[in-house]
Structure 1
Amino acid sequence: MAQTTAERQAAYRARRATAGNDGNGERRLDMWMTTEADLALARLARRYSVTRREMLERLVVRADAAIVRRLDPDSAQWDAYFGAHR
């Protein structure tokens, strides 16, 4: 029996969520942003010859890495940042 469009879309999203070498997959991001931020993202992506997705991923990962580098893994700040509870 043929799948409905909704069923095919659900299966596609499920595959994307678990795809990848580590089985970690991807996560869907659906949001609104200001025009200012959207235009800035487009300019940055164009400057570095990457997609807007790639540019956003780079910015987020680099900002996160800068914070993590300054945290002691055995500190309360580390736990607070990663949402862990002692």
Structure 2
Amino acid sequence: MAPTVAGSLLPLSVIVLATVASTVLLAPVAVKDIDALLALKSGLHDPNGALKSWDPQLVNPCTWFYITCDDNNRVTR
């Protein structure tokens, strides 16, 4: 029997659903981390722009320079 279109889309649907669900569930945590880091940044003098990668538009602060995160994408230092 040949695979159906609906059957071949099921794995993709599961991946998309898992990605969206994890983003929605982790978003409040990331927002708190981002808010804390941006508050810290606003209090620092950064004449060389070392923290310019700290962009609030990026939803994952773990991608910012000088930030370390744990396995749950929580900022640890």
TM-score (norm 1): 0.31
Structure with more of its chain in helix, by fraction: 1
TM-score, structure 2 as length reference: 0.33
Q: Which has the higher contact order (CA 8 A, sep 6+)?
A: 2
